């Protein structure tokens, strides 16, 4: 899924956003379905897989109509991950907190990359 995003960005450095971006939605759906299968019957820790699933919303950045609405879309799409983080912090576990902070940093880096991308 990240390779698809990377290819999209490489394309967009020379061209504008393609009018048809549903191919990203298809990749996100496959990843989401895979994560959902892992969450039942608890083959992965619930908070961890919940965070991964919440982060998939960030991959819908292309749903923004223009550059002005992009930041709003990205903030709204990052909210589920932030809410999921509250559950990690409530665990009061150093390893779980460290995992969440690292995962959140990755999501924030992706967020910044999308927001800083000027051509839309």
In the predicted model, is pLDDT for residue 13 greater than 70? Answer: no
- Give me the long-range contacts of 99-103 (CB less than 8 A, separation at least 24): 99/48, 100/47, 100/51, 103/51, 103/52, 103/55
In the predicted model, is pLDDT for residue 11 greater than 70? Answer: no
53-67 pLDDT, tens digit per residue, is 888 888 878 777 777
* pLDDT in the model for residue 46: 73
Selection from 101, 98, 94, 26 nearest residue 62 by Cα: 26
What is the arithmetic mean of pLDDT over 36-54?
76
| Tokens 């709003």, residue located | 72
In the predicted model, is pLDDT for residue 44 greater than 70? Answer: no
Rounded Cα–Cα distance for residues 42 and 6 (Å): 31
* pLDDT in the model for residue 114: 81
In the predicted model, is pLDDT for residue 113 greater than 80? Answer: yes
């Amino acid at each position: 899924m990240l390779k698809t995003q990377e290819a999209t960005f490489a394309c967009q450095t020379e061209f504008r956003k393609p009018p048809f971006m549903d191919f990203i939605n298809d990749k996100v759906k496959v990843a989401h379905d895979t994560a959902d299968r892992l969450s039942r019957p608890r083959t992965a820790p619930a908070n961890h897989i919940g965070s991964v699933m919440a982060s998939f919303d960030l991959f819908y950045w292309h749903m923004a109509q223009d550059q002005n609405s992009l930041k709003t879309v990205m903030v709204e799409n990052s909210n589920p991950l932030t809410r999921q983080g509250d559950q990690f912090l409530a665990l009061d576990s150093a390893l779980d907190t460290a995992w969440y902070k690292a995962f959140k940093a990755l999501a924030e880096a992706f967020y910044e990359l999308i927001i800083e991308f000027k051509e839309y």
